[in-house]
A and B are shown apart, each in its own frame.
Chain A
Amino acid sequence: MSLTREDVTYVANLARLEFSDDEVTALADQLGAVLDYAQTLSELDTKEVKATEHVLQLKNVFREDVVKPCLTNEQALANAPDSEAGCFKVPRVME
Chain B
Amino acid sequence: MELNQKTIHEINDLLKKKEVTVTEVTQSVINRIDGVEGSTDAYLRLQSEEALNLARIVDEKLKARKKISPLEGIPYGLKDNLCTQGILTTCASKMLYNFNPPYNAHVYNLLIEEGGILLGKTNMDEFAMGSSTENSAYKVTKNPWDLNKVPGGSSGGSAVAVASDTAFFTLGSDTGGSIRQPASFCGVVGMKPTYGLVSRYGLVAFASSLDQIGPFTKDVEDCALVLNAIVGHDEKDSTSLNIEKKDYTKNLKQGVKGLKIGVAQAFFGEGLQPEVRKSLEDAIAVYKAMGAEIVDVSFQYLDYALSAYYLISSAEASSNLARYDGIRYGFRAEEYDGLVDLYRKTRSQGFGEEVKRRIMLGTHALSSGYYDAYYKKAMQVRTLIKDDFDQVFKGCDVLLTPTSPTTAFGIGEKTNNPLEMYLTDIYTVPVNIAGIPGISIPCGLDQVGMPIGMQLLGPVLSEKTILKAAWAFENETNYKNLKAPLGREV
Contacts and interface: CB of A to CB of B under 8 A. Distances in A.
Interface of A: 3, 7-8, 11-12, 14-19, 27, 30-31, 33-35, 37-38, 40-42, 44, 46, 49-56, 58, 60-61, 63, 71, 75-76, 78-82, 88, 90-93
B36 interface: no
A55 B209 contact: yes
Interface string B96-124: 00111011000000000000000000000
Contacts of B329: 79-81
Contact of A41 (B304, B356, B359): B304
Interface of B: 98-100, 102-103, 195-196, 209, 235, 238-239, 241, 301, 303-304, 306-308, 310-311, 318, 322, 325-332, 336, 338-340, 342-345, 347-348, 351, 356-357, 359-361, 363-364, 367, 373-374, 376-384, 386, 418-419, 422, 433-435, 460
B357 A27 contact: yes
A34 B310 contact: yes
B381 A79 contact: no
A12 B360 contact: yes
Contact of B377 (A30, A46, A56, A60): A46
Contacts of A71: 102-103
Nearest to B325: A16
A7 B364 contact: yes
10 contacts: A11-B360, A16-B347, A17-B347, A34-B418, A50-B383, A55-B195, A79-B102, A80-B328, A88-B328, A91-B338
A79 B330 contact: yes
A75 B356 CA distance: 29
B102 A41 contact: no
Contacts of A91: 336, 338-339, 342
Main secondary structure of the interface of A (DSSP, over half): loop
Given A31-B360, A37-B419, A38-B311, A53 B379 contact: yes
Contacts of B338: 91-92
B361 to A, nearest CB: 6
Contact of B102 (A54, A76, A81): A76
B383 A80 contact: no
A35 B384 CA distance: 20
Contacts of B336: 91
Nearest to B382: A52
Nearest to A16: B343
Contacts of A12: 360
B57 to A, nearest CB: 25
Nearest to A91: B339
A17 B311 CA distance: 19
B359 A15 contact: yes
B4 to A, nearest CB: 35
A11 B330 CA distance: 24
A37 to B, nearest CB: 6
B195 A46 contact: no
A93 B304 CA distance: 45
Q: Which 10 A-B pairs have the closest CB atoms?
A: A55-B435, A79-B329, A81-B332, A51-B379, A46-B380, A38-B307, A49-B380, A15-B363, A52-B383, A52-B382
